[in-house]
């Protein structure tokens, strides 16, 4: 008989499932402790593994940049607190790329019983004993806004992780959407679809900061 799987996952737009957990920085109540802040809640398969180590060196080195974006990092794996502490100490001795002796100051959740991992759909068919590389982007009201899942073998793209935070914040601040491959400083998209009239190569509108390629695709010029 096929095994019955016992898992759930929050979807984009859902409230972030709440939990209380022991971390390397003390006990946290999630998401209440992070009200008013953006949070990147992420999981990794296991401490003392190579890809995870490069990711933690990168997360640690970018933590201040995220803080400047009102964004806190929270990590999780199904390892024990003792394993977390030993691994993070070891990471501090390492150098890789531009990252020298990275100190992990953000909380890393101990989730031996996989309670949190199961709530967030982090235990998937790849392994019943390790989390996948999940990334949940949670907004200041505690709503899940973006979800990424990577397999164990693929290290995450931190440019994209930062771009997601910047894109979500831009969308909230200016009421816009962001086009394919958008980077900060580039023009954004005005939702809902504009009504700029008949299609031409590029339709200039009366509003100086807006242009349309067609009636359903209008951009807002980013101030230079």
Q: Which residues bind ligand BEZ (CB under 6 A)?
A: 45-46, 49-52, 130, 152-153
Which of the residues 52, 196, 212, 218 is marked catalytic?
52
Q: Which is nearer to ligand BEZ, 16 or 123 (CB)?
A: 123
CB of 154 to ligand BEZ, least distance (A): 9
Instruction: List the beta strands (DSSP E) in the chain.
Output: 19-23, 26-30, 38-43, 71-77, 95-96, 99-100, 108-110, 133-138, 144-150, 188-189, 203-204, 210-214, 217-220
> Considering the complex, what minimum distance in angstroms separates the CB of residue 51 from ligand BEZ?
3
**Can the peptide bond before residue 170 be classed as cis, meaning omega within 30 degrees of 0?**
no
Distance CA 173, CA 175 (A): 6
Q: CA-CA distance, 172 to 177, in Å (whole number)?
A: 9
Quote the CA–CA distance of 177 and 191 in Å, as a whole number: 7
Shortest Cβ distance from residue 211 to ligand BEZ (Å)? 46
Distance between CA atoms of 217 and 224, rounded to whole angstroms? Answer: 21
Cβ-based nearer residue to ligand BEZ, 151 or 184? 151
Phi, psi (deg, nearest 5) at residue 162:
-70, -40
Nearer to ligand BEZ, 24 or 49 (CB): 49
Q: Is residue 52 among the annotated active site residues?
A: yes
Nearest distance in Å: CB 144, ligand BEZ: 25
Tell the burial category of 124 from Cβ atoms under 10 Å away from its Cβ (0-12, 13-18, 19+). middle
Task: Choose between 57 and 73: whose C-beta lies nearer to ligand BEZ.
Answer: 57
Give me the active site residues, please. 52
């Amino acid at each position: 008989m096929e095994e019955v799987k016992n898992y759930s996952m929050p979807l984009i737009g859902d409230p972030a499932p709440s939990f209380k957990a022991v971390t390397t920085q003390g006990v946290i109540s999630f998401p209440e402790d992070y009200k008013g802040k953006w949070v990147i809640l992420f999981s990794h398969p296991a401490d003392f593994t190579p890809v995870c180590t490069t990711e933690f060196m990168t997360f640690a080195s970018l933590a201040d940049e995220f803080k400047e974006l009102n964004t806190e990092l929270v990590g999780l794996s199904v390892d024990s607190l003792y394993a977390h502490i030993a691994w993070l100490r070891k990471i501090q001795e390492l150098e890789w790329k531009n990252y020298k002796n990275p100190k992990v100051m953000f909380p890393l959740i101990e989730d031996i019983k996989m309670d949190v991992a199961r709530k967030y759909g982090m235990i998937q068919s790849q392994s019943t004993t390790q989390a996948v590389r999940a990334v949940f982007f949670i907004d200041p009201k505690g709503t899940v806004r973006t979800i990424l899942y990577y397999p164990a073998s693929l290290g995450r793209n931190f440019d994209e992780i930062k771009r997601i935070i910047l894109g979500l914040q831009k969308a909230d601040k200016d009421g816009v959407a962001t086009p394919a491959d958008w980077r900060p400083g580039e023009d954004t998209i005005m939702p809902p679809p504009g009504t700029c009239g008949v299609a031409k190569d590029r339709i200039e509108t009366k509003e100086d900061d807006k242009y349309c390629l067609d009636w359903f695709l209008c951009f807002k010029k980013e101030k230079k």
